[in-house]
A and B are shown apart, each in its own frame.
Chain A
Amino acid sequence: QSVLTQPPSASGTPGQRVTISCSGSSSNIGSYYVYWYQQLPGTAPKLLIYMNNQRPSGVPDRFSGSKSGTSASLVISGLRSEDEADYYCATWDDSMSGLHAVFGGGTKLTVL
């Protein structure tokens, strides 16, 4: 059971806009930045969004992130076939157990 909750699946047709949500609590998303990672089949996760809404060099502006309170969202505009992948949100959690990184369970995006 992941600390961060994501829908297990999402889908869209080429050109569509898709939103993936990530829900947490005051000890994690409510207190820290949110990060998003894209994992293509058989590869390592790749940083997609950092500090809620910043894109690393080379990530298309079709990908955008936002955060409000204890939830965050990843939006993919102009969906393309190569966007088919698993998407994970991540942040930090500062509960009684001490500061540690946490990931969501992931959302499998299918491009129909």
Chain B
Amino acid sequence: QVQLQESGPGLVKPSQTLSLTCNVSGASISSGSYFWNWIRQPAGKGPEWIGRIFASGSTIYSPSLRSRVTLSVDTSNNQFSLILNSVTAADTAVYYCARGRAVVPGALEYYLDFWGQGAPVTVSS
């Protein structure tokens, strides 16, 4: 069974950097068959897709966060990470990592079939 688990600080000060890691079990990131995603959800609101990374390191990001986000992948430890710079209170949310499965092999369009349980992050001094 595929499982994803987010980890990282639950409290970040304004203007500092948010850093989270997603550990994957039951699937190999290096297989290159899936896309690895970060999504966040502020309290009472819908999810917001942050970006995705492929095993090769290829990334795409949300236009609204592109200037502050960096995703990276560590295939040797089967994990991938999120860095969000210059955080403000508006970045307070539950952060999820999720696996993306292509609609057909080789397609860039995919859906999120497995999600982590989520990591709550609060931005506050």
Whether the pair B46, A105 counts as a contact (CB closer than 8 A) is yes
How far does the Cβ of A89 sit from chain B's closest Cβ, in whole Å?
A: 9
Among all A-B residue pairs, the 3 with the closest Cβ atoms? A97-B63, A101-B49, A44-B115
Separation in Å of the B34 CB from the closest CB of chain A?
14
Tell me if B113 and A103 are in contact (CB < 8 A).
no
11 contacts between A and B (CB under 8 A): A43-B117, A46-B115, A50-B113, A90-B47, A90-B111, A97-B63, A98-B63, A100-B49, A100-B61, A103-B48, A106-B45
Main secondary structure of the interface of A (DSSP, over half): strand
Say whether B103 faces chain A, with CB atoms less than 8 Å apart.
Answer: yes
Q: Interface size on B (CB < 8 Å)?
A: 21
Residues in B with CB closer than 8 Å to A88 are 46-47
Q: Is the CB of B62 within 8 A of A106?
A: no
- Interface size band for A: 20 to 34
A47 near B112 with CB under 8 A, answer yes
Q: Which residue of B lies closest to A34 (CB)?
A: B111
B48: A residues at CB distance < 8 A: 103
**A102: interface (CB < 8 Å):** yes
